[in-house]
């Protein structure tokens, strides 16, 4: 008679990784939304209670945010939320324009029917999210997060057919870095713009397989956010957040 199989040991490493990933996402959202302000010191002994994880798990999450450049580590002095500034966003914007327009050119040239179908779907879902975000009345955090997810998905599909994994890697980092600034520009709306119209023009140029026009429109679209941030008061940029009631 075979002896019964011994129960397998719990998958502690996998569970720890899941906890760290969850803490990372919560911290990341709080940084992007400004609940953790630019430059704020991140004290492990305080945050572990706030996010209900152990100190080791929290440090893992913070290390992931350091890799994202959303958190900076100062040797033995601990962690701080990465500061934001107009000079930083200019650098992010111009680097993103150079890389993303090249990726889009390649994507338009190489994209097949499946890419067109995915792009059409992503644009439709983004349009619905933009319609909800554009309605009069107070907007909640969930609605803005939904729009941000659809916006990110649209931009990802735009360049999906680009074969360079390094372009995708660096653009992911740059897109994440721009989130805090984009949030300020969308909620405050310091300059008149029709974001949906900008997306529509880029989408149409891609379907027409006009790579140069699509790249030109995309560059203008990315720089429009920089133009909006330039118009914001220094106090708003330094604070890094605004109430979502400002969204219209």
Which pLDDT band, with edges at 50, 70 and 90, does 235 fall under? low
What does the alpha-carbon distance between residue 24 and residue 63 come to, in Å, rounded to a whole number?
9
d(CA 180, CA 89): 10
- Residue 42, classed as helix, strand or coil, is strand
Q: Tell me the per-residue pLDDT of 149-175, one tens digit each, with 9 for 90 and over.
A: 999 999 999 999 999 999 999 999 899
Coil, strand or helix: which one is 164? Answer: coil
Q: What angle do CA 90, 92, 97 make, to 5 degrees?
A: 95
Q: Could you report the per-residue pLDDT of 58-106, keeping only the tens digit for each?
A: 999 999 999 888 999 987 778 999 988 889 999 999 999 999 999 999 9
Collapsing DSSP states into helix, strand and coil, what is residue 247? coil
Domains and CATH numbers, the chain: 13-81 (1.10.10.10), 86-239 (1.20.120.530)
174 burial type by CB count under 10 A (0-12 exposed, 13-18 middle, 19+ buried): buried
pTM for this structure?
0.79
Q: How far apart are CA 128 and CA 61, in angstroms?
A: 33
Name the more confident of 28 and 232. 28
Residue 225 reports pLDDT greater than 50: yes
């Amino acid at each position: 008679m075979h002896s019964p199989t011994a129960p397998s040991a719990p998958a502690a490493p996998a569970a720890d990784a899941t906890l760290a990933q969850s803490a990372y996402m919560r911290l990341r959202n709080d940084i992007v939304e400004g609940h953790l302000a630019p430059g704020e010191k991140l004290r492990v002994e305080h945050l572990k209670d706030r996010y209900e994880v152990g100190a080791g798990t929290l440090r893992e999450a913070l290390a992931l945010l350091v890799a994202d450049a959303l958190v900076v580590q100062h040797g033995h002095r601990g962690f701080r939320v990465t500061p934001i500034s107009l000079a930083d966003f200019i650098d992010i914007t111009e680097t993103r324009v150079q890389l993303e327009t090249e990726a889009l050119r390649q994507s338009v040239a190489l994209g097949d029917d499946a890419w067109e179908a995915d792009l059409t779907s992503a644009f439709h879902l983004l349009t619905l999210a933009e319609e909800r975000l554009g309605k009069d009345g107070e907007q909640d955090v969930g609605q803005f997060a939904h729009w941000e997810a659809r916006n990110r998905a649209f931009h990802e599909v735009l360049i999906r057919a680009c074969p360079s994994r390094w372009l995708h890697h660096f653009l992911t980092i740059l897109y994440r870095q721009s989130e805090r600034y984009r949030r300020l520009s969308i909620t405050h709306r310091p300059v008149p713009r029709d974001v949906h119209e900008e997306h529509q023009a880029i989408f149409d140029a891609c379907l027409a397989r006009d790579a140069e026009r699509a790249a030109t429109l995309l560059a203008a679209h990315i720089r429009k956010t920089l133009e909006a941030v330039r118009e914001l008061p220094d106090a708003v940029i330094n604070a890094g957040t605004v109430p979502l009631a400002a969204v219209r």
